[in-house]
Amino acid sequence: MQRTERFNRADKVIKVGFWINGLLMVMKLLAGYFGKSEAVFADGLESACDFIAILSTLFALNVGRKPFDEEHPYGHGKAESISAVLVSLLILATGAGILFQSVHTIMVGTYQEPQLIAVFAAVVTIGVKEALCRYSLRVGEGLGSPAVLAIAKDHRKDAVTSVATLIGVTAAFCGFRIMDPLAAGLTAFFIFHIGYQTFMSAAHELMDGQPPGEMISAIVEIAEPVEGVEHVHEIRGRRSGQYIIVDLKLDMHPEMSVKRSHDIAVEVKRRIFDRFPEVGDVMIHVNPHDEEHEDLVRL
């Protein structure tokens, strides 16, 4: 997949979520206010926070798609991981706000009587948000985009939130008034969990965490069968936005010419590119096979 096509697909997913989220936000705020449901209105406020999150993600994608330059020789892809951290913090702050309001309502003991429109709003939100989550996950996993995957988790968080909201507002509609703020409070804990997961994933990428073990094993299986490669000595990888940069060391015959070792390295790189479209670059270092050698490393 070409670089431009990858970014265009990510843009499409996020923009679709942006506009649909805007419509849901307006619907839930109106339904919560006129339908007298604290849980549904809190859900609407949460969607307003999502608006800010999606805007920051769109900005990060625009920054991340810039090609490498003298000051950023590895590109600008880390902007996506930074955006994912900001989204996670916004998710956590939203959960804290909802929890505070629900506790306050229960302590005061003044409960409203939700209307049917509030129940309807929760049902619609569940269906739409779950569909958006699955769509975003499919594209995000295909692209390996941390920003798109963070948005997908945010959609899933909204769907889970609305399930709890639906249970609470339906029970309150049937006469159990305390269930409306209780549902809002329970929802906050689901939100905390999703925010934590999103933060840890983005932090792992910002700290240049190793790619999945299955990918490392697959690269070994791709490189070692290439004629002239005696052994894959070491593999490291780190994510930069939608791409992964791979470093590996190949053991080759010590008397091999520079030209021959270069051709072998190019073939290894080509096979890795063919197998993993999310790999942006492969740095290859050649070591002499069956000879004592020392790799100078300060890390």
Q: What is the pLDDT of residues 136-175, one digit of tens each?
A: 888 888 877 777 887 788 788 788 878 878 888 888 888 8
Eight-state DSSP code of residue 291: S
Q: Which pTM was predicted? A: 0.68
pLDDT of residue 8: 76
pLDDT of residue 69: 75
Class of CATH domain 3-206: mainly alpha
Q: What is the band of 265 on the pLDDT scale with cuts at 50, 70, 90?
A: very high
Buried b (16+ CB within 10 A) or exposed e, 206-224: beeeebeeebbeebeebbe
Please count the helices (runs of H) and the strands (runs of E) in the chain.
8, 3
- Looking at the chain, which residues constitute the CATH 1.20.1510.10 domain(s)? 3-206
Q: What is the band of 299 on the pLDDT scale with cuts at 50, 70, 90?
A: low
Tokens of 27: 């619907």
3-state secondary structure of 280: strand
Residues 6 or more apart whose CB falls under 8 angstroms from that of 296 comprise: none
Q: Mean of the per-residue pLDDT values for the chain?
A: 83
252-259: average pLDDT: 90
pLDDT of residue 222: 93
State which amino acid sits at residue 257: S
Choose the CATH number for 213-288 among 3.40.720.10, 3.10.20.810, 3.30.70.1350, 3.10.450.350: 3.30.70.1350
Proportion of the chain above pLDDT 70, given as a percent: 94
Residues facing residue 249 across a β-bridge:
234, 285
Note whether 58 and 11 are within 8 A (CB). Answer: yes
Q: What is the band of 6 on the pLDDT scale with cuts at 50, 70, 90?
A: low
Task: List the single range of 25-29, 61-65, 96-100 with lowest mean pLDDT.
Answer: 61-65
Provide long-range contacts, Cβ within 8 A and 24+ apart, for 227-230: 227/264, 228/252, 228/253, 228/256, 228/260, 228/261, 228/264, 229/264, 229/268, 230/289, 230/290
pLDDT of residue 261: 93
Model confidence at 58: pLDDT above 80: no
Note whether 154 and 90 are within 8 A (CB). Answer: no
- Looking at the chain, which residues constitute the CATH 3.30.70.1350 domain(s)? 213-288
Model confidence at 103: pLDDT above 80: yes
pLDDT of residue 2: 59
Report the candidate in 243, 193, 227, 244 with the shortest Cα–Cα distance to residue 235.
244
Eight-state DSSP code of residue 297: -
User: 189-231, pLDDT tens digit by residue?
Assistant: 877 887 888 889 888 888 888 888 888 999 999 999 999 999 8
pLDDT of residue 22: 86
3-state secondary structure of 204: helix
123-146: average pLDDT: 86
Model confidence at 1: pLDDT above 60: no
Q: What is the band of 7 on the pLDDT scale with cuts at 50, 70, 90?
A: low
Proportion of the chain above pLDDT 90, given as a percent: 16
pLDDT of residue 293: 65
Distances (CA, A) of 91 to 123, 133, 289: 22, 15, 51
User: 223-241, pLDDT tens digit by residue?
Assistant: 999 999 998 878 988 888 7
